[in-house]
Amino acid sequence: MEGVDHLAHERNRSQFDVNDMKIVWAGSREAFEVSDRMSRLVANDPAFRKDNRVHLTRKELFKNTLRKAAYAWKKIIELKLSEEEAGRLRFFVDEPAYTDLHWGMFVPFLKGQGTEEQLQKWLPLAYKMQIIGCYAQTELGHGSNVQWLETTATFDPKTDEFWWPGGLGKVSTHAVVFARLITNGRDYGVHGFIVQIRSLDDHSVLPGITIGDIGVKFGNGAYNTMDNGVMHFDHIRIPRNQLLMRFSQVTREGKYVQSDVPRQLVYGTMVYVRKTIVIDASNALSRAVCIATRYSAVRRQFGSQDGVETQVINYKTQQSRLFPLLASAYAFRFVGEWLQWLYTDVTQRLAANDFSTLPEAHACTAGLKSITTAATADGIEECRKLCGGHGYLCSSGLPELFAVYVPACTYEGDNVVLLLQVARFLVKTVSQLVSGKKPVGTTAYMGRLQHLMESTCKVQKAEDWLNPSIVLEAFEVRSARMSVECAKRLSQFTNQEEGFHELSPSLVEAAVAHCQLIIVAKFIEKLQGDIPGNGVKDQLQKLCSIYALFTLHKHLGDFLSTSTITPKQASLADDQLRSLYAQVRPNAVALVDAFNYTDHYLGSILGRYDGNVYPNLYDEAWKDPMNDTAVPDGYHEYIKPLLKQQLRNSRL
């Protein structure tokens, strides 16, 4: 029945204050207030309707996205929204669009790479959306290997194909273009340029440039709202001052001047976007977990006692699949908060020409982007399976969420390629120990290598696994021993690069171990701080233990093969995990309510706040255009003749 809360019994069981948890999830009371207001503004405006997307053709879908993006922009101006409010409004509109790349990459690149003079020219145009930008780095033949991009920009003291860039296909008027800078006959490698690609008068493509959409992508709706594009340059000319010259310049005479900064600063936007992708992983995973948790509390199947079937959320297998994902959503939230701090810190240091934490920032953003997106993509699919058959319906919200999310494992750096960057960073850290260099930041634990190599796990009973110091040490020991083992095997190769490639699968596993340690450590650090709210900290401690012990269980091979723990201690960890699932069970629905997602944003019949699934699932079916007529199109051409023929045959 409408208006009845079918999950009230679940909400009444919770042992903490959901409103207090909402503040912790949002990061602050102010952040919660902005998010709550923007999500309701979007949910209550029919212009932002999204339940019809699956029935639109690609062109209708794209035009609908342009309409929404323009309407959102009008709202932002009309309501004089702040940058934060505007960002949250676009987030809740929930539609990949060219604006993601304009605000998410084009503007940050300009801000990070332009000179003061260039910023004064281009930023006001970009902020007022008088130009629309995209980020054109990936070519048909190269995406991961940026150093081998083939587009060239040759300085002509007298007077250059991209593939994938979002927003490029149909909308962008300008592009940040990556090309090899050649001047005075010398190739200075990849640099960033700003290039106008369409007329600001009639949007026609400028001469010497060919632009198109790269075609339909994975899944219905999904990322097809975005005009990922293809672009070909044929000897176009741009003014010298459209080389973004904050870190390197070309003089009027064509002389190349490189300021004494690491060349990798040209990659700065990728570090920034990888950081936002980690935060976005917690958004996407929490959304899937919210749907699967509420539906698991509604769904009953088998196991009847006094004539009432069992809620599937009470099955231990359902809990062992669902609750680690719930814990991961919170874990990624908090590591994302820390990564935001790290990024801000490194940016401040760069401004003071202090490049000391740049390698750490690169390794952390690359590694955490990789493991949080992989876990989130797998987690969304697991949430679909946790919802049984109904999870496969678009009205569950899960298929489209999966289809929109999975490219995160590829864009902004293929996950394996990025983990190999972390592996290089770890191997380098271990090798520098010999020379006495003290590791700092997230590798500081390597400074206690002697202890970690000799340490034995102190767990004797299941409850010992609730001790954060014991858990943290186990993850440090596992990671340190895997890195040292790789470094040792690598040292047996005369050609280090050859050794690195030969051992790369093991190196990737060591990189994963290090990144999982960071997530566990940051969750524990979060809990050592002040966590306001009734019962909130207690719940988060349970989720932290679940994240750590589930990760340990999933990677048991590492922990046993490095002798970090014994089989007995592994079994005690399982016992503790099951006990934690039972403790989280009465709080599960309240823990997902704390994400404060509107039904509009969830876009899921299964995840409705009121849990009134079946009547709404049934009604939704009839809305499908397939049910416009009882007799389907094609009956008279293909079914009627067949049935008649079969009837005649049967009488012969």
Ligand X SMILES: CCCCCCCCCCCC(=O)SCCNC(=O)CCNC(=O)[C@H](O)C(C)(C)COP(=O)(O)OP(=O)(O)OC[C@H]1O[C@@H](n2cnc3c(N)ncnc32)[C@H](O)[C@@H]1OP(=O)(O)O
Binding site for FAD, by residue number, is: 138, 166
Residue 223 binds which of ligand X, ligand FAD, none (CB < 5-8 A, kind-dependent):
ligand FAD
Strand pairing class (174-183; 186-196): antiparallel
Q: Does 411 bind ligand X (CB under 6 A)?
A: yes
Quick check: helix, strand or coil at residue 198? strand
- Work out the angle between the directed axes of helices 536-554 and 18-26 (0-180°, nearest 10): 60
Residue 372 binds which of ligand FAD, ligand X, none (CB < 5-8 A, kind-dependent):
none
Residues in CB range of 626: below 8 A, 6 or more apart:
632
CA atoms 390, 394, 397, 403: torsion sign? positive
Alpha-carbon gap, residue 348 to 353, rounded angstroms: 9
- Work out the angle between the directed axes of helices 316-351 and 567-584 (0-180°, nearest 10): 100
Residue 416 binds which of ligand FAD, ligand X, none (CB < 5-8 A, kind-dependent):
ligand FAD
E strands in 34-173: 133-136, 152-154, 162-163
Write out the two tokens for 618: 């049934």
Considering only residues 232 to 291 of the shown chain, the ones binding ligand X according to CB under 6 A are 264, 267, 270-271, 276-277, 280
Please, which residue, 172 or 479, has the CB nearer to ligand FAD?
172
Alpha-carbon gap, residue 228 to 209, rounded angstroms: 16
Q: Does 95 bind ligand X (CB under 6 A)?
A: no
Mask for 150-179, x = binds ligand FAD (CB under 6 A): --------------xxx-------------
Among this protein's residues, is 463 annotated catalytic? no
The single residue among 25, 103, 122, 135 that binds ligand FAD, judged by CB under 6 A, is 135
The single residue among 108, 413, 533, 603 that binds ligand FAD, judged by CB under 6 A, is 413
Please, which residue, 136 or 518, has the CB nearer to ligand FAD?
136
Alpha-carbon gap, residue 595 to 18, rounded angstroms: 9
Q: Does 412 bind ligand X (CB under 6 A)?
A: yes
Angle at alpha carbon of residue 46, lines to 43 and 47, rounded to 5°? 105
CA atoms 237, 241, 242, 248: torsion sign? positive
The single residue among 417, 466, 470, 560 that binds ligand FAD, judged by CB under 6 A, is 417
DSSP-derived secondary structure for 322-360: HHHHHHHHHHHHHHHHHHHHHHHHHHHHHHTT--TTHHH
Q: Site size for ligand X, by CB under 6 A?
A: 28
Q: Does 214 bind ligand FAD (CB under 6 A)?
A: no
Residue written as token pair 């990659």? 267
The single residue among 18, 26, 132, 358 that binds ligand X, judged by CB under 6 A, is 358
In the complex, least distance from residue 259 CB atom to ligand X, rounded to whole angstroms: 16
Please, which residue, 168 or 181, has the CB nearer to ligand FAD?
168
The single residue among 144, 251, 460, 645 that binds ligand X, judged by CB under 6 A, is 144
Alpha-carbon gap, residue 109 to 103, rounded angstroms: 10
Only one of the segments 407-415, 451-459, 462-470, 613-621 lies at the binding site for ligand X (rule: CB under 6 A); that segment is 407-415
Q: Does 146 bind ligand X (CB under 6 A)?
A: yes
Alpha-carbon gap, residue 454 to 562, rounded angstroms: 11
Alpha-carbon gap, residue 415 to 402, rounded angstroms: 17
In the complex, least distance from residue 22 CB atom to ligand X, rounded to whole angstroms: 21
Write out the two tokens for 124: 């006001």
Q: Does 421 bind ligand X (CB under 6 A)?
A: yes
Residue written as token pair 């084009």? 106
The single residue among 14, 65, 113, 137 that binds ligand FAD, judged by CB under 6 A, is 137
In the complex, least distance from residue 142 CB atom to ligand FAD, rounded to whole angstroms: 6
CA atoms 75, 77, 78, 79: torsion sign? positive
Count CB atoms within 10 A of the CB of residue 229. Answer: 25
In the complex, least distance from residue 137 CB atom to ligand FAD, rounded to whole angstroms: 3
Please, which residue, 358 or 380, has the CB nearer to ligand X?
358
Count CB atoms within 10 A of the CB of residue 497. Answer: 8
The single residue among 167, 399, 413, 611 that binds ligand X, judged by CB under 6 A, is 413
The single residue among 25, 223, 475, 601 that binds ligand FAD, judged by CB under 6 A, is 223
Amino acid making up residue 588: A
Q: Does 184 bind ligand X (CB under 6 A)?
A: no
Please, which residue, 298 or 403, has the CB nearer to ligand FAD?
403
Alpha-carbon gap, residue 133 to 22, rounded angstroms: 35
Only one of the segments 9-17, 42-50, 358-366, 560-568 lies at the binding site for ligand X (rule: CB under 6 A); that segment is 358-366
Residue 228 binds which of ligand X, ligand FAD, none (CB < 5-8 A, kind-dependent):
ligand FAD
Q: Does 433 bind ligand FAD (CB under 6 A)?
A: no
Mask for 79-118, x = binds ligand FAD (CB under 6 A): ----------------------x-----------------
Question: Annotated catalytic residue: which of 95, 360, 381, 412?
Answer: 412
Residue written as token pair 């390629």? 417
Residue 267 binds which of ligand FAD, ligand X, none (CB < 5-8 A, kind-dependent):
ligand X
Please, which residue, 294 or 362, has the CB nearer to ligand X?
362
Q: Does 228 bind ligand FAD (CB under 6 A)?
A: yes
- Residue 100, Cα to own-chain centre: how many angstroms? 13
Q: Does 14 bind ligand FAD (CB under 6 A)?
A: no
Could you tell me if 159 and 76 are in contact, meaning their C-beta atoms sit under 8 angstroms apart? Answer: no
Q: Does 362 bind ligand X (CB under 6 A)?
A: yes
Q: Does 138 bind ligand X (CB under 6 A)?
A: yes
Strand partners, 213: 229
Write out the two tokens for 220: 């219905």
Q: Does 435 bind ligand X (CB under 6 A)?
A: no
Please, which residue, 276 or 576, has the CB nearer to ligand X?
276
In the complex, least distance from residue 504 CB atom to ligand FAD, rounded to whole angstroms: 6
Q: Does 414 bind ligand FAD (CB under 6 A)?
A: yes
Q: Does 279 bind ligand FAD (CB under 6 A)?
A: no
Q: Does 411 bind ligand FAD (CB under 6 A)?
A: yes
Amino acid making up residue 406: V
Q: Does 416 bind ligand FAD (CB under 6 A)?
A: yes
Could you tell me if 570 and 559 are in contact, meaning their C-beta atoms sit under 8 angstroms apart? Answer: yes
Exposed/middle/buried for residue 158 (C-beta within 10 Å: 0-12, 13-18, 19+) = exposed
Alpha-carbon gap, residue 174 to 135, rounded angstroms: 9
User: SS3 helix, strand, coil % of the chain, rounded to 5?
Assistant: 65, 10, 30
Strand pairing class (162-163; 186-196): unpaired
In the complex, least distance from residue 228 CB atom to ligand X, rounded to whole angstroms: 9
Please, which residue, 379 or 413, has the CB nearer to ligand FAD?
413
Alpha-carbon gap, residue 538 to 586, rounded angstroms: 13
How far are the Cα atoms of 115, 167, 595 from residue 214, in angstroms, in the given order?
Answer: 33, 11, 35
Residues with a known catalytic role = 412
Interface residues toward ligand FAD, by CB under 6 A: 101, 135-138, 142-144, 164-166, 223, 228, 407, 410-411, 413-414, 416-417, 420
Interface residues toward ligand X, by CB under 6 A: 100, 104, 135, 137-138, 143-147, 166, 264, 267, 270-271, 276-277, 280, 358-359, 362, 411-413, 417, 421, 424, 428
